[in-house]
Amino acid sequence: MSFSLACSAQAEDHHDHDAHVFSAGGIEVIHPWARAAARGADSLVFFELHVEGEADRLVSARTSVAGEVHIVGLTVGADGAGHREVGEIDIPIGAFSFDPGGLALELRNLAIPLEQGTHFDLVLEFAEAGSVEIEVAVEAAGATQHSHAGHSH
């Protein structure tokens, strides 16, 4: 089962943004980021999850910067690589990644351009933990990982 929402709004530019970890109900979302893209185009969102306590299920996501949000997985075939909807995803206890080589959230029909250096809000809906509001950093269009510029660990 796939889930999508119709939304509209604008990205925000946060100069003093230091938080890269968001949490609720035993779930931490670490370093959420997306690739820059033009208005009307699609983009992908990546992040790492840390789950403590009980496993959960990512049911859906929503944001005001895209017409639809889908949970997708990378596929490779005769026609090359692409993404296909996978619906809800079981999230085990421990670390679990949404990364360029696997799962992602696909933002379809962007309402505004996603420009490198900006941020936007996104809500993840989990079956048990409920809503987790996160702020997604926009990286370069060809980025393969979250930039650690401007902060340290």
pLDDT digits (tens, 9 = 90+) for 19-63: 578 988 899 999 999 999 999 999 999 999 999 989 999 999 999
**Domain encompassing residue 95:** 21-139
Distance CA 58, CA 151 (A): 28
Has residue 43 been placed in a domain? yes
Q: Is the pLDDT of residue 1 over 60?
A: no
Average pLDDT, the chain: 84
**In contact, 104 and 45? CB cutoff 8 Å:** yes
Closest to 76 in 3D by CA, of 42, 56, 102: 102
Q: Which tokens go with 104?
A: 């992602």
Cα 20 from Cα 60, distance rounded (Å): 21
**H helices present in the chain, as ranges:** none
For residue 8, being part of any structural domain is answered with: no
Question: For residue 60, is it within any domain?
Answer: yes
Position 142 scores a pLDDT of 85
CATH number for the domain including 101? 2.60.40.1890
> pLDDT digit string (tens) for 111-143?
999 999 999 999 999 999 999 999 999 999 988
For the chain, the domain total comes to: 1
The answer as to whether 116 is a domain residue is: yes
Evaluate if residue 153 carries a pLDDT over 60.
no
